[in-house]
Amino acid sequence: MTSFSSTRWFSHALGGIDRFLFEPRSRTPLRLMRIAYGLFLVVYFTSLYSPAMMLYGTDGLVSRSGEYPLSHVDRPHLFHLISDHSDHVVWLVIGGGITSGFWLASGVLTRIAPLVTWLFVSSVVTVIPGNSGDMLVMCFATYMAAAGLAGHLNAGRNNSPHRLPTNPTGKHPPKAISKEVVGTTNLVKSPILGKAYRRLLIEPFTSSGQTIPAWSIRLFQIQLVYVYFFSGYHKLANDTWYHGTALHYIAGQTFWSRVDLSQLLGWPAVTSLMTTTVLLFELLAFPVLVWVKPWRIPILLAGVIFHVTISITMRVFVFHQILILYYMAFLLPGDWQAIWSLFRPLQKFLSCSGWQAEATRATDGS
């Protein structure tokens, strides 16, 4: 009897793992993550131009000393393979990274674009001193490359014979979304802009019924939960976090602050409560509640507010922006439909303007 129960439990466990990794999921979140990450990389590589020039430019540290010890890595990268210790290699790597970001967002050759993106991201993250945020940018590029090789990033094309019959709200996503979104395609009818508009804003929504195995989205989800849990876990090893005084000391420093937080120094109970709340959020609330359907959206909204607040008040770069991109992996097609509906005023404005008529005339004349 015991052996039979153990075998049945083991079978259920394997079935749960199989469903978790391979159940059909909508392509919409992953496609929108591809677009958002591509546009993020454009800004990311642009911001890295000055540090890269300082290190690898004609008058940079590598040119003067031959090596930058703090960022030395044994594995090859673009700076190592093609660097002539001049500005040209910086222009090539940064320009290539910006171009790869646009390429990834465009949805063209989605099996190759993520690999090219990964090549440029890995080259700058491994050689330019950064932080945990830069490593998360690297992880994102790695997961995108895996999803691209599996054919999960195709824009507007379905390689899967399966379709999602309904979303969790019981509505049919292809009809519900396409009825709103496809009506906006007439706003841009020029051959070039119209194609880009459809790839970026139309196809990811109208193909929401197309499915992929869940594992490519689970990679991002598991990474996010892992980051939160172990971030809180390692904070507990620090005395200031363990005793609830970390944010009290953070409020008193000025180097990382964008705004004056010194007024919080007179409220130690408040800073202690805030410190404990951060620990509970990272260790327990997010890693557990994000998987619970009724709590998924509230905990994601709380996380967005949390990271936006830190970005506004503190000089912490990249980390909070890239984490919000990871949040997209937890959004379902119905959530994206609700987000898209927020832009209805803009759609109405564009349809009432002369843009549509001008685009139509330009198309007729071509």
Residues 103-148: pLDDT tens digits? 999 888 889 999 999 988 888 876 665 678 888 999 999 999 999 9
Same domain, 126 and 194: no
Q: 33 and 145 share a domain?
A: yes
Nearest residue to 29 (alpha-carbon basis) of 256, 232, 204: 204
d(CA 217, CA 150): 12
pLDDT: is 279 or 10 the higher one? 279
Higher per-residue confidence, 67 vs 97: 97
Q: Of 194, 255, 237, 91, nearest to 246 (Cα)?
A: 237
| Cα gap 279→244, rounded to integer Å | 9
**In a shared domain, residues 136 and 274:** no
The verdict on residue 219 lying in a domain is: no
Count of all residues that appear for the chain in the document: 366
Q: Is 9 within a domain? A: no
Examine the domain organization and report whether 244 and 105 are in the same domain.
no
Burial 243-261 (b: 16+ CB within 10 A, else e): ebebbbebbeeeeeeeeeb
Q: Give residue-wise pLDDT tens across range 174-189.
A: 443 444 444 444 544 5
Q: Is residue 164 part of a domain?
A: no
Do 325 and 256 lie in one domain? The reply is yes
CA distance 275 to 270: 9
In which domain, by residue range, is 189 found?
169-211+339-366
Please tell me the pTM assigned to this model: 0.76
187 and 267 in a single domain? The answer is no
261 to 101, 160, 232, 239, 243: CA distances (angstroms): 36, 53, 23, 22, 20
Domain check: are 34 and 148 in the same one?
A: yes
Q: Which two tokens stand for residue 266?
A: 């007179």
Q: How far apart are the C-alpha atoms of 351 and 366, rounded to whole Å?
A: 22
In a domain, 71, yes or no: no
From 141, 183, 194, 151, select the one nearest 27 (Cα to Cα): 151
* Predicted pLDDT at 248: 82
User: Is residue 192 scored above 80 in pLDDT?
Assistant: no
Residues 323 and 243 occupy one common structural domain: yes
Instruction: Determine the 3-state secondary structure of 150 from DSSP.
Output: coil
Judgement on whether residues 127 and 91 belong to the same structural domain of the protein:
yes
Mean pLDDT of the residues in the chain: 76
Using the 8-state DSSP alphabet, how is residue 354 labeled?
S
Residue 280 lies in a domain: yes
- Residue that the structure tokens 């990311």 belong to: 44
Domains of the chain: total: 3
| Other residues' Cβ atoms within 10 Å of the Cβ of residue 111 | 15
- In this predicted model, what pLDDT tens digit does every residue of 8-44 receive, in sequence order? 777 778 888 888 888 888 888 888 899 999 999 999 9
With respect to residue 57, please indicate whether it lies within any of the assigned structural domains.
yes
If asked whether residues 327 and 347 sit together in one domain, one would say: no
What burial class does residue 195 get, using C-beta atoms within 10 Å of its C-beta: 0-12 exposed, 13-18 middle, 19+ buried?
A: middle
